[in-house]
Amino acid sequence: MTRWWRRLVGRNEPESLDPTRSDLVVVAECFDDAEACSTTLARASALDPDAPALLRHHLRLPPEQVAQVCGIAAQDGYAAAPRTVDPSPDELESLILQRVQLLDALHCSQERSRMAGLAQRHDGVADGWDALQPGSATSQQ
C-alpha cells in the first residue's frame, strides 16, 4: 500500500523498526527552535520518507518529573531511550523519548510541539529532535 493511501485511509502504522539496531544513523536533526521541520526534512538527503524512522526528542527535566513525563509520553507510544545519569550545570536530567513512525513535516512538527509543551508543563525544556534510519555512517546528512 502506498504511503499516501495509508494516510488517506488512516493506516499510518510504520513497519517494524527495532530501536536497538546497531546500524541506525541520524538522517535528520533539528536543535534550532526557529527552524521549521519542513526545512530540516528537505535538507535531510539521507532520509527515506517511505521507510519508518526512529524519531527521538531530546528533553531536559527536573529528576522528579522524569517518571511522570515518561508515563504521559507512553500513552502516545513513546519509550525512554536507555540513559545515563549526567549531572548538568542546571540540575536538569537528560531524557530521550523515542518512537518509530513514518516521518513527514506535518507529523514531525506536531510531535515537536507536543514534546515542547510536555517538557514545559513539567519545568523542563525540549532541546530538539533527531531521526534515525538504517544506513551506514557515510550516509549521514
Model pLDDT for residues 65-112, shown as the tens digit of each residue: 999 999 999 999 999 998 766 656 668 999 999 999 999 999 999 999
Place of cell 514534546: 115
pTM over 0.85: no
Average pLDDT, the chain: 86
Q: Is the pLDDT of residue 4 over 70?
A: no
* All domains in the chain, ordered by first residue: 23-139 (3.30.70.970)
CB 25 within 8 A of CB 48: no
CA distances from 72 to 55, 96, 129, 134 (A): 17, 14, 18, 28
